Amino acid sequence: MSIKQKLLEAVGAERFSDAPEVLEAYSKDFSLAPQGTPDYVVKPKDAQEVQRVIKFANEHRLPVVPASSGVHFHGATIPRRGGIVLDLSGMSQILEVDELNRRVRIEAGVTWEQLTGALGKKGFRMMMPLLPHPRRSVVTDWLEREVPTNTVYDYGEPLQSMEVVWPTGEIFRTGSASVAGYPDSPSKGANPSGPGLDFYRLLQGAQGTMGVVTWANLKIEYIPKMDKVLFAPVSDLNYAIEFLYRVLRLRIIQECLLLSNINLVAIAAQDDLEKLRASLPPWALILVMSGMQRRPEEQLHYEEEALYKVAKSEFPQISLAGKLPGLSASGNKFLPLLRQPWPDKATYWKNRGKGACSSLFFITKPTLAPRFIERVKEVAARHNYSQADIGVYLQPIEHNRACHLEFNFFYDPNNNSEVERVKKLYRDAAPVLLEEGALFTRPYGELAKLVYGRAAGYTATLKRVKKLFDPNNIMNPGNLCF
């Protein structure tokens, strides 16, 4: 029996495909990562089926690449060495909505669109990164440590306990879901840590190399009763960042972000992108204050008092208003852009401008952002990439203790020279930023070689751990440093 026949037997024809057009769909994504075609695609329906595939893969030394989303941006699910793509998008049940403990348990294939809709009906929301694609897997985005737009919660990440199928084939529950018989137990799975080791940490940022997560518990929040969206036009970025250092510590702001005008245009423009761009300031600071469940207007009141006290006395150049001049989707009309996934399945906001976008992002201290921006501009200039066309997104994290800084390089995917230029620009910019102190905690694609090459100690230890969990190196081999 050939491998294919054995695999077919193991998973059943319903779950299996190796049709060329199916394989091709998994061989590329929205990133500039080189193509890589799998040999087979399997779409499991439950953990036992996942387990069967993994056991099979171990037996036959076949790579397994888990993919839970309908759309990918970083190349992490493109097989580098063929093998089996394990597509979990069909495992898309919302298993529990636990309103009392503000928790939801969802399978890996549940999308942002699906979840936001279901939660919204009950008055709940989940913290979100900026405008996730509606077909992205919620679990994957949190596993991959996407940075939320909400800066007020000290407990940050929504991820709690999970079910995982280890690369060796065992089905395992992490955190407090590890009790026997879960969910038939007093434990709700609200604690991510343990048992014994913090397995959840090893699965975060792993890009599918450490195991296959089949479901996860995540925190949900109430939709505030009242919101107030404020904008400030910014030309002095340093000044705006200092303002954020001051006000985000007061714990009065929910969502907060800084966008360069080209990004704001991509997000908010109705039709004429160029026209809007011409009327917008170089940067926009967007803040949301909210009144939660009780006496919301009183809450908003003290928040506004505190905010304006600081703004007026210490940062007179920041002029906060409910509208951003030039932007029709101002005020509370902007709110859905922060509380919903991107509405258009066909064209992601980053691709609105030119059709495609290459993103370079990392974690840093907000005060260093202007310096990084300068460096990127210098590199861009060397490649004749117009500075004005660079998209920048600064996402403060947790009271502005750090930030996610993202650079978006737009290009026409059908124009070869643009594609090549952006590739080279990216390749040149990354080491410059790394040298300057950029912390690439999510080293996608060719970033991995650069980053792990610089972190010998970390890499060596990581490999030792990986070997314990995946002795045959079947999980997404060739990815990260594996």
Q: What residues numbered 271-290 form the site for another protein, per CB under 8 A?
A: none
Q: Does 182 bind another protein (CB under 8 A)?
A: yes
- Least distance CB 180 / another protein (angstroms): 6
Alpha helix segments (H runs only) across 73-192: 112-121, 138-143
E-state strands within 169-316: 171-173, 212-219, 221-222, 226-234, 256-260, 283-291
Min. distance of Cβ 268 from another protein in angstroms?
Answer: 29
Helix (H, G, I), strand (E, B) or coil at 227: strand
Rama region for 78: left / alpha / beta (φ>0; ψ in -120 to 50; rest): beta
Q: Which of 37, 58, 441, 473 binds another protein (CB under 8 A)?
A: 441
- 331 backbone φψ class: left, alpha, beta (φ>0; ψ -120 to 50): left
Choosing from 188, 228, 350, 354, the residue that interacts with another protein (CB under 8 A) is: 188
Helix (H) or strand (E) holding 363: strand 356-364
97 in contact with another protein (CB under 8 A):
no
Among 249, 352, 377, 421, binds another protein (CB under 8 A): 249
Contacts of another protein in 155-174 (CB under 8 A): 155-157, 160, 170, 172-173
Name which of 92 and 168 has its Cβ closer to another protein: 168
Q: By CB under 8 A, tell whether 133 contacts another protein.
A: no
Residue number with CB closer to another protein (202 or 212): 202
Residues 6+ apart with CB under 8 A from 13: none
266, 452, 475, 476: which one binds another protein (CB under 8 A)? 452
Q: Which of 14, 21, 154, 271 binds another protein (CB under 8 A)?
A: 154
Specify the residue, 298 or 344, whose C-beta has the smaller distance to another protein: 298
Is 472 near another protein (CB under 8 A)? no
Restricted to residues 308-327, the positions that interact with another protein (CB under 8 A) are 309
Chain centroid to Cα 199, Å, comes to 20
User: From the list 5, 21, 121, 180, which residue makes contact with another protein (rule: CB under 8 A)?
Assistant: 180
Tell me how far apart the alpha carbons of residues 259 and 338 are, in angstroms, rounded to a whole number: 13
Q: Cα separations (Å) of 223 from 124, 293, 295, 305, 341?
A: 5, 8, 14, 22, 15
Report if residue 226 touches another protein, rule: CB under 8 A: no
CB atoms within 10 A of CB 26: 21
**Quick one: which of 238, 293, 319, 387 contacts another protein (CB under 8 A)?**
293
Q: Count residues binding another protein (CB under 8 A).
A: 98
Identify residues 388-407 at the interface with another protein (CB under 8 A).
398-399, 401-402
Which residue in 60, 96, 245, 375 binds another protein (CB under 8 A)? 245
Backbone angles phi, psi at 189, to 5 degrees: 85, 25
CA distance 28 to 212: 21
User: Nearest distance from residue 454's CB to another protein, in Å?
Assistant: 6
Instruction: Pick between residue 18 and residue 98 the one whose CB is nearest to another protein.
Output: 98
443 binds another protein (CB under 8 A): yes
Q: Annotate each residue in 36-75 with x if it binds another protein (CB under 8 A) or - if it does not, as one string.
A: ----------------------------------------
Beta carbons within 10 angstroms of residue 53's beta carbon = 25
- Contacting another protein within 328-387 (CB under 8 A): 363, 365, 367
What is the rounded CA–CA span in Å between residue 383 and residue 411? 13
Tokens matching residue 30: 């929205």
Contacting residue, 19, 95, 197, 388, with another protein by CB under 8 A: 197
Residues, the chain, total?
482
Residue 377 CB: number of other CB atoms within 10 A? 17
Cβ proximity to another protein: between 8 and 320 the closer is: 320
